[in-house]
Structure 1
Amino acid sequence: MSGYANPDRPDERLSTAEREEAVTRLSEFHVEGRITSPEFDERAAAARAAVTRGDLVPLFADLPSAGPSWESEPWAAAPAASAATGTPGPPLPPPPASAALAAGPARTSRALGGRVGDTVMALTPFLALALFFLFGFAGGFVWSWLWFLIIPIVAIVIYGPTGKPDSER
């Protein structure tokens, strides 16, 4: 619906494809949980019955914009109506760029013991180095290097031998 966005012409008639695109956008808001099922049904029916671009404005007035493609939508570009006074208000601002970055999936540790396992793995090289010098000075450095084998052994115990994520095991 980006080709017909013109807030100067709210009386311009909609095509059937434009109405269906509005219903699709409402469906996205329903999936996101921004509108309930009864609200979606009501708004979708109103979008399918809309005749002009101005008819779509109240259906999206209380919903946030969602990026560059949404900003070109006619109901986002047209001024939103104030619920209290019925007078036009300012257009909805675009979402902040940081919101998209913060919306990423939560990171979880695959380590045995979670964060504790991660911490143990991070400290293992320092333990190996301390044991290397402790036993090296006490009994000789010939076999002292074997303490560094603790690092891969601890990694296998904590992360598992396959190296695959838990969901693929």
Structure 2
Amino acid sequence: MSTPAMPDPGRHPRGQRSGGILSLPPRAAALIMGFTPIIALWMFFATYRAISYSWVWLVAIPVIGVLIYGPRADPRD
């Protein structure tokens, strides 16, 4: 009897990439989404006195999410 092949822990179980415009491996997508709020908040505070519309940096958080995962991403993945 042969044992079933175990999936690589670094890959998505179905071997798929993210479903958005930027097709990334799941680990890279999660890394970028993890750093996006930190970078957006830092850019907001770095520019809030220089430009009156520094709040636009905070819009990057959902925009990056849509670019990486797509507008109809399954939250269970």
Q: State whether TM-score is above 0.5.
A: yes
Q: How many residues align?
A: 60
Tell me the C-alpha RMSD between the 2 structures: 2.5
1:108 aligns with 2:12: yes
Q: Which amino acid aligns with 1:116?
A: A
The gaps in structure 1 that reach 5 residues or longer are 1-32, 35-105
Q: Please report how far the alpha carbon of residue 143 of structure 1 lies from its aligned counterpart in structure 2 after TM superposition.
A: 1.4
Match of 1:135 among 1, 26, 47: 47
Q: Percent of pairs identical after alignment?
A: 35
CA–CA distance in 2 between the matches of 1:163 and 1:114?
A: 13
- Partner in structure 1 of residue 65 of structure 2: 155
Q: Which has the higher contact order (CA 8 A, sep 6+)?
A: 2
CA–CA distance in 2 between the matches of 1:115 and 1:156?
A: 16
Q: Which has the larger radius of gyration?
A: 1
Describe how 1:43-122 pairs up with structure 2 within 5 A. Answer: 108=12, 111=18, 112-122=24-34
The gaps in structure 2 that reach 5 residues or longer are 3-8, 19-23
